[in-house]
Structure formats: C-alpha cells, structure tokens
Structure 1
C-alpha cells in the first residue's frame, strides 16, 4: 500500500521571514509524519532570510541559511492539500490567483483553531477531506484584518518582534500537527 504524503504550503509576503521559519519549524516538529512542507511568497524577491531571521532560527535550533525566497506559483498551489498564509491579506491574494483552492485555504492561526473543532477522519486524504469538510466556510473569513488570524511581519523591526512572531506561530504549528497526525493518520 502506498503511503499518501500530504502537501502543506506556508505563504507570506516576501518568503523571507515568517513562512521560512514556519516551514523549518514544521519540518522538525512533523518529522516522521506523512507530510511535505513548502513555503513561498506573494511578492518573493529571491533573497535569503535576513540576519535577524537567521538568529531567531538558531535560537530554535533550526536552519534557514540555505533558504531563498520563492514566488507563489498557481500550478503549485493547485497541488497543495493545505495552504496556510500568514494573514488574511495573503489569503485574499491567493483566492484571487486560484479561487478553486478556497476549501484548502486558511490562515495559519485559523486552521489551528478549525482543526481542533473538525477532527480529521482516520486514513482520509487531507486535500479531499478539506474539499468536502471546509467547502461551505464563509468567504467572509478572509475579509478584513484580524489579530486572531494574522501573524505580524517582523522584517525591519527589532529582535523582540521576531521572537513575538515565533511565539505566535509555534503553538499554531504544534496544534495543527497534533490535529492532523496525532494518531498516525
């Protein structure tokens, strides 16, 4: 029997700070789970993670030194089982690029809350399950800005903003991984 590998993509603006950190953390925290993580940006530059991001990753014993910013690709979005942007603004941009991904699109923090209320059935394919289970979510979930849903961008700010970003995303990733893979799905 072939083991299905879930594909989860994290998206931020430049793909230089939030989404690379989340990708690196998720890879380590989800080691052994049947999942592949990627990240990209809505306005990617091809640049590396800034020094503060490298320092933050090192504090968490992660490496993002080899990461280079990647642009969101509509074809790659269509292949993802779950797309987790860092803010509602990113979600709206992604909906405009690829409206069909709507059931598989949540902000990172939205999905951390949603998965706690919607247990994944055993042996279900993540993308197909979300296509059915999340298809009727109101599109108003993506309208406006909401601190409950948005992860603040730390670029250009002092280190304590970077640490605050990590404090915001680490529990969300832990909750998502627990909700998706806690029983070896």
Structure 2
C-alpha cells in the first residue's frame, strides 16, 4: 500500500484539491490524505475549490482541514508539498521524514524550482488554473506511484 499526503498552508485549497484529484482516479493500492502546515482543524475546503472540483465531476464536500501531525507523517509513504517553502517547513518540523518529502513538481517531473501558486482569495479562474496545473502533474505522479507500487 502506498500512502500519499498532500500538504499546503491551510489545507483548504491546494492540498485538498490534489487529494480529491488523486482520489477520483480510484487507484488500487494507493491511499490519499491532505493536511496543512498552518491548518485550522475542521475547516471546510474553500468554496471555489469545491466548485472547480464539481466542474470536473468530483464531489468533495465532506473535507475537514487537518494540521500536519506526527500521526499523518508516520502514516504516509510520501509527503508532497505545494511549494518549496512548505517542503522546508515540513522538514524543519519532521526532520526524520526528510527522505519522503517532495514538492509536487519535484515528485512529478523532477523540478524542485517551481511551485503550485496559491489561489486563496482569488477569482475562480485562479482555482481553475491551479486545478489544470495539478491535474497535468497528477498523470506523472500516478505513473511514478504505479511503477513503485509493483
């Protein structure tokens, strides 16, 4: 079983969107969760996140934000962050997990210099752009996970 944990700041926009996209693929042997480095436990996914996911046939209404914690770090095979600064924050919080922490683009295409921009507070078009960017990267992530899951 491969376990993936997506991490962003508040666990209301990017990381739940990534979680929902990967979960929607219904891949056997892969479990997915998300968390935030500064999340308020119990917060819902942002309205625009839910709207954009719904535009793609993904219902994600029951999401509740989670603060990154020891239990999630122990649970996961990979921690995939949205930005290099998230990666640095997670490494400083959980240095023993450094070997399983990657940015999304680093994990997908080996590019650790490029981040997934935060659409928080922006118009729905920004959320659509974020969705499209992550969905494109998810193809590469899935290929890597399936290769490693054999």
CA contact (8 A) 1:33 1:184 kept: no
2:49 maps to 1:53: yes
Aligned to 2:13: 17
Residues 64 and 113 of structure 1, relative CA distance in 2, 3 Å threshold:
same
TM-superposed deviation, 1:75: 3.1
TM-superposed deviation, 1:182: 5.3
TM-superposed deviation, 1:184: 6.7
The residue correspondences of 1:155-170 to structure 2 (distance < 5 A) are 155-170=120-135
Question: Please, what TM-score do these two structures have when normalized by structure 1?
Answer: 0.75
CA distance in 1, matches of 2:92, 2:63: 27
Over aligned residues, Cα RMSD in angstroms? 1.6
**Structure 1 segments of 4 or more deviating over 3 A?**
none
TM-superposed deviation, 1:99: 0.7
CA contact (8 A) 2:2 2:145 kept: no
Larger radius of gyration: 1
CA distance in 2, matches of 1:90, 1:78: 18
Query: Where do 5+ consecutive residues of structure 1 fail to align?
Result: 115-140
CA distance in 2, matches of 1:32, 1:176: 12
* Cα offsets for 1:77-106 (capped at 9, x unmatched): 133111101111110110011111111110
* Cα offsets for 1:125-182 (capped at 9, x unmatched): xxxxxxxxxxxxxxxx6xxxx4x2x111111001111011011111111111112215
Aligned to 1:172: 137
Query: Where do 5+ consecutive residues of structure 2 fail to align?
Result: none
